[in-house]
Amino acid sequence: MKLLGVVMEKVHFTEEKATNLATLYGRALDYRSAHPILGDKAADDAVRRIDYDFSRIGISPDRAVSVVLRAKPIDDWTAEYLRAHPDAIVLHLGCGLDTRFQRLAPPESAHWYDVDYPEVIELREKLYDKAPNQTHIGTSVTDFAWLDQVPSDRTALIVAEGLTMYLKPETGTELFRRLAAKFPSGELICDLFSRMAIKSQKINTPVRRAGATLYWGVDDPRDLEPCGLTLESSLDAAHWATPDVLAKMGPITRFQLRLLKVFPPLARTAHIVRYRF
**Residues near ligand SAM (CB under 6 A):** 16-17, 19-20, 23-24, 94-96, 98, 116-117, 120, 140-142, 161-163, 166
Nearer to ligand SAM, 8 or 146 (CB): 146
Q: How far is the CB of 16 from ligand SAM (least distance, A)?
A: 4
Q: Exposed, middle or buried, 106 (CB in 10 Å: 0-12/13-18/19+)?
A: buried
Q: Which residue is nearest to ligand SAM (CB)?
A: 96
Q: How far is the CB of 201 from ligand SAM (least distance, A)?
A: 13
Q: How far is the CB of 19 from ligand SAM (least distance, A)?
A: 4
Nearer to ligand SAM, 140 or 234 (CB): 140
Beta-carbon contacts of 9 under 8 Å, excluding residues fewer than 6 positions away, are: 49, 50, 51, 123, 126, 127
What does residue 218 show for φ and ψ, rounded to 5 degrees?
Answer: -130, 115
Nearer to ligand SAM, 23 or 78 (CB): 23
Nearer to ligand SAM, 162 or 221 (CB): 162
- How far is residue 130's CA from residue 99's CA, in Å, rounded to a whole number? 11
Q: How far is the CB of 167 from ligand SAM (least distance, A)?
A: 6
Torsion angle of C-alpha atoms 159, 210, 208, 222, degrees rounded to 10: -10
